[in-house]
Amino acid sequence: MRATVCLVLMLLGVTLSWASAHGYQTQFPTPIGGSQTVSPPSYSVPGSTAGGMGTPYGASPAPTYGAAPSPLGGPTTAPSYGTGTTSPFSGGAAPSATTAPSLTAPPPLDMSPVTPGQVPGPPPSYGSVVDTPPPNWDPYAPPGTGSTAPVLPQDYYPPPGTTPESGKLQRLIDEIRLDYVMLAPRGSKKFGTNDLDLSASLALPFFYNQETPLLITPGFAFHWWEGPVGGNVPPGLLERLPPRVYDAYLGAAWNPRITPQLGADLAFRVGVYSDFQKWSIESLRYTGQGLLVLSLSPSFQVKGGIVYYDRVRIKMLPAAGIVWIPSPETEFSLVFPYPRVSRRLPNFGNTEWWLYCRGEYGGGSWAVQPDKMAGPVDQIDYNDIRVALGLEFDRMDKIAGLVEVGTAFERELLLRSTHEKYSPSTTIFLRAGLIR
């Protein structure tokens, strides 16, 4: 009997195990009505057995629990926490386990060196438009000028005075200048001069542009004459030649830039040039220049126009030439009638030095009257051609200056009333200047 009971129990256990493995469920009546499916917990994993039975301590996933009883009746399936394989109780595919959000590693830091003036990192993006400047954009150009490629793009260094300095505050007194020139009375026909010129330039914004201001320059000059001595001095010239003459003038200069390629150099001066013995309309003279400037590249310009002298001998001269700056250390301003070539020297301390060679058409014209009561006012010219070698400096504290030595030739004194002329000997001259 005991053996029979054990056999029955064994068969019942095998049957229950086989039914559980093949998804069979047992239904029991409930007091609420309907039927409730009750599935016992299973610790086995399909396909994994240990001695024919599952073990809760093996290398298996967490146990899967069946449906919990519903208080209102009807089968209710609890969520599965398994591995997404086929459920042994529902006969269908178990829902997939929830996938945790993936964590993406941050990009590595950019440790490359940053070029001065360059903003590190990618350019800022606003919406779908990347805010990047064009390749030829100039941040220091005056507003509204834009950027235009030069005709000769291989040149790069801008001429002096044309470099844009956006945002610079222009001081009212641009410079105060003192110049002294001495022509030695030497040779068989002696005639010497000592000239002292004091001036101040005021920079006024013109047409709301600080880059090309209007320069207003009042000034006063003294000229002490020595001679003429020797040779055949015309008596009329010797009688009317005063020991000293003066200049009292007011000048204006403007360098407009109509386009990046087209500009102008304009200057005008009105003044009283006389020995101040007697006032007359002949004492009032007008001088100046007007040049058209064509910039073929930032370092190459072509200039052309006129220079107005208002003298007895020459009223005006044509002006033409080029300005070329092949490097920051060399400048060629080959413009007639005042050519100049400059070469930069090594700095000494905080001072910049330039060596230069220049030429000019020198001299001036004055209304003269030796005696206030005798005769009309006359006009006398002094003209010469000068070539000089000079050295100029520019300090960081805005003090500049120059010293030069040269020769003056083709000299002449000319009287307007009688056209009498005297030609002094070729001489040397010294010049010194201080600018603040």
428 forms beta bridges with 407
Q: Which residues share a beta bridge with 391?
A: 355, 403
pLDDT by residue (tens digit) across 366-419? Answer: 999 876 556 788 999 999 999 999 999 999 888 999 999 999 999 999 999 888
What pLDDT is attached to residue 265? 96
pLDDT score, position 120: 56
The answer to whether 426 and 190 have CB atoms below 8 angstroms apart is no
Nearest partner of 362 among 332, 335, 338, judged by Cα? 338
Q: What is the dihedral of CA 386, 391, 395, 399, to 10 degrees?
A: -30
Q: Which residue has the higher pLDDT, 353 or 94?
A: 353
Amino acid 361: pLDDT: 96
Cα separation of 241 and 86, whole Å? 128
Please give the residue that has the higher pLDDT: either 240 or 248.
248
Looking at residue 369, what is its pLDDT? 83
Least confident of 4-13, 194-203, 213-222, 307-316: 4-13
User: 346-374: per-residue pLDDT in tens?
Assistant: 998 899 999 999 999 999 999 998 765 56
pTM over 0.85? The answer is: no
Average pLDDT over residues 90-105: 51
Note the Cα 410 to chain centre separation in Å: 46
The per-residue pLDDT for 225 is 95
What's the pLDDT at 245? Answer: 95
Q: Considering only 15-24, 46-55, 84-93, which range has the smallest mean pLDDT?
A: 46-55
Q: What separation in angstroms does the CA of 112 have from each of 108, 120, 142, 200?
A: 12, 9, 33, 52
User: What pLDDT score does 365 carry?
Assistant: 96
The better pLDDT of the pair 144, 234 is held by 234
CATH fold of 173-435 reads Porin (2.40.160)
As a whole number of angstroms, the distance between CA 306 and CA 337 comes to 10
Q: Which residues contact 381 (CB under 8 A, 6 or more apart)?
A: 311, 312, 313, 363, 364, 365, 412, 413, 414, 416
Q: Which two structure tokens, joined as six digits, stand for 84?
A: 């997404």
* Residue 109: how many other CB atoms lie within 10 Å: 6
Label the pairing between strands 427-435 and 330-336: unpaired
Name the token pair of 249.
Answer: 């003038």
CB within 8 A of 50, min separation 6: which ones? Answer: 58
Per-residue pLDDT for 158 more than 60? no
Flag the least confident range among 52-61, 108-117, 276-285.
Answer: 52-61
Q: Name the residue among 176, 195, 267, 251 with its Cα closest to residue 218.
A: 251
Per-residue pLDDT at 66 exceeds 80: no
- For 435, the token pair is 């600018």
Average confidence score pLDDT of the chain: 76
How far apart, in whole angstroms, are the C-alpha atoms of residue 37 and residue 105? 48
Token pair recorded at residue 56: 């809760």
CA distance readout (Å), 100 to 83, 97, 103: 14, 9, 9
Q: Which residues contact 260 (CB under 8 A, 6 or more apart)?
A: 145, 146, 148, 295
Q: Tell me the one-letter amino acid at 427.
A: T
Report the helix count and the strand count for the chain, using DSSP H and E: 2, 19
Residue 18: its H or E element: helix 2-21
Side chain identity at residue 321, one-letter code? G
Average pLDDT value for residue range 8-20: 55
pLDDT digits (tens, 9 = 90+) for 33-63: 444 444 444 444 344 443 443 444 444 444 4
In angstroms, what CA-CA distances link 167 with 202, 314, 379?
19, 43, 48
Q: Which residue has the higher pLDDT, 250 or 29?
A: 250
Domain residue limits, the chain: 173-435
262 touches 230 (CB < 8 A): no
Whole-angstrom distance, CA of residue 133 vs CA of residue 360: 46
Quote the percentage of the chain above a pLDDT of 70.
59
Model confidence at 122: pLDDT above 80: no
* Paired tokens of 366: 């004055």
Dihedral pair phi/psi, residue 41, rounded to 5°: -65, 145
Choice among 214-228, 261-275, 277-291 with the minimum mean pLDDT: 277-291
